[in-house]
Each structure stands twice: as C-alpha cells, then as structure tokens.
Structure 1
Amino acid sequence: MSLHPSPVLVADRPPAPVASADAGGAILALDLGTRTGWALRTCDGCIVSGTEDFRSRRFEGGGMRYLRFADWLIELAMLSRGIGRVVFEEVRRHAGTDAAHIYGGFLATLSAWCEREGVAYQGVPVGTIKRFATGKGNAGKDAVVAAIRQRGFQPADDNEADAIAILLWAMETRGGVL
C-alpha cells in the first residue's frame, strides 16, 4: 500500500479550455517564484488576485512543485473559462542560485503549458513593470505595493502587487503595443 498518491500523468489530464486573446479571453499575470503572485482578468472583466505557495512539501521530490504548478494553471484555466494570454515578470538576474533554479523551472513549465494549450505568453522586464506602476524603473517593493494600493487594490504582499501591476500594464498598454 502506498502512502503517497501516484502522480497524474500529463496525458491523463483533461485539456484546459483556451479562449482567444482577441476574443476577450482571460489574461493571467504572474510573478513567478516559490510564492507566486497572480492576477487574473476574467472574460467578463473582473479582476481577482492572490498568491500561491509552491514550497516543497515533506516527502516530495524536487519536481513535484512544478507538477503542482502545472495543475494549478489547469485549474485557473477551467475556473476562468479559458485563458487567452499569460503575461509574466521576466527576471534576467537572480541574487541566489535557488531562486534562479525555481524561476527557471516555473518558466519552463509555464511555457510548455502555454505552447501545448495554444495560449499566447509574454515576459515583461522587471524595470518596465516598476516604471509603469511607480514612475521609477528601480523602485523598491514597498513603492510598488503602495502604488497598487493607490489604484484601489489591496495586495497581501509584494508578489501579489507585482502580479497586479503586470496585469494592469498588459491591459493598459495592450502588451506594450499602444
């Protein structure tokens, strides 16, 4: 008897619904990391946001957090009735090795999921998001949180604030195409 459920194979998962970005599909914004910030503009224009914790759990192998991340993406797609576009914070430099490995693993999982499901995805440099939110490309975390609160949102932390800023940037600049 196994104490751990066997992992679900990708082929056994139902395909996530995909809505065209041109048809007003949902937009998902992500601040990738162990504590991933997310913000979602649903197909009917509502914005919801939060954070999801992908810390390794006891008795899990190293890759399980990425499987949980992929399952979470499928769940979001189903709950939102289709994701048309994903926008994420593109980090080009990490201070720590662990953070770089975690980011790279989530980015690989995200891009594979988007490619498989036919969802458009785009990385946005950190400085672009900070400049959009605060007016300064090198603004600190507290400044981004404060700027997002001034826009009427109540992020729980800087991860959620970053995701909201990414979503607002994507909506207001149409992904950088004015």
Structure 2
Amino acid sequence: MNLTVTPTAIPDVLILEPKVFGDERGFFFESFNACSFEQATGLREDFVQDNHSRSVCNVLRGLHYQIGRSQGKLVRVVAGEVFDVAVDLRKSSATFGKWVGVSLSASNKRQLWIPQGFAHGFLVVSEYAEFLYKTTDYYAPECERSIRWDDADLGIEWPLEGEPILAAKDKDAVPFSRAEYFA
C-alpha cells in the first residue's frame, strides 16, 4: 500500500502520508488513488470538485463549512507551508467543539482528511502557500458559513506572528456559540 494513515486527536480527522519515491532527479508519488484511499482509511468517498488557492504569509482562511451541502475535504499543500485546522461541529460527537491542527507543507507532503460535519481553516506560515483540496460536494455559497478564527470558546492556538490577513467574510464570522451545527 502506498499510503500511511494516522488518526489525530479527533479520530475521524486523518493524516495521510503517501509513499514518496525519490532520487537525484526529484520525486514521484500518487497524490490520490481511490483504491488506496479506501483500503487505507476504510472510507469510500466520491470527490466532485478540486480547488486550488494561493495565499501569502499570515493569510488566515476560515473557519468555513457548509450547512445543507456538507463537504468532506482532502487537503494538501504543494508550495510552502500552512497550519491546517479542523473543528468538530457534530453535536452528537464526543469531540464536539474540539479542534486539531496539523502542519501541511510541500516538503512533508502530508494530506489531511476532514470529514463532513467539520469547520476548516488554515494559516499560511511560509512566504506563500499553494493549497489544494478535493471536496465531496460542490461549493454552494448560499450554504457557506464561517466561525470566528479567534473564538475564545474554541481556543485554537494559531502560530501567528502579528495580526492575520482576513477576508471580509472571516472578519464578520459568527462566534462558535452562535454557529449552526450538525446533528
């Protein structure tokens, strides 16, 4: 198998590490293989959309999620480094309101599986970062929600240097206590 899977402190959020083949010419790895993904995780997911963003240092995107059209996300970084965060919004979960953070970079080639029912965000900690992610449902702006990145109830320990650069929707995000949750 070409994929190592490690559960995080929230067992449904998984770190995936592909087997990388490298030599003096460079490297090769399968960034996604449906059979390997299912074999390694026990999950069969249908990814319907791929997204690619580029952000400069100290950009913080999130915490985003969709209600009604929830998305599972398989995320990775192909240039630079980010601190990636998933927050459990499933009220029935033992880890409801908890978060995990993982460093994803072009050099470590890690991926993070974030299932449906989670908010997601990331902070760019390198000069810039290119971030790719596969989703299990299409982007639906009318379903998108945002939770404040700095909500005291969540207590996310972002590795920030100064104030983050935020989009307007993230500046206007609701606190965790007023968010819409999943069952």
TM range (shorter): 0.3 to 0.5
Tell me which protein shows more strand as a share of its residues. Answer: 2
What is the TM-score with the length of structure 1 in the denominator?
0.39
Tell me which protein shows more helix as a share of its residues. Answer: 1
What is the TM-score with the length of structure 2 in the denominator?
0.38
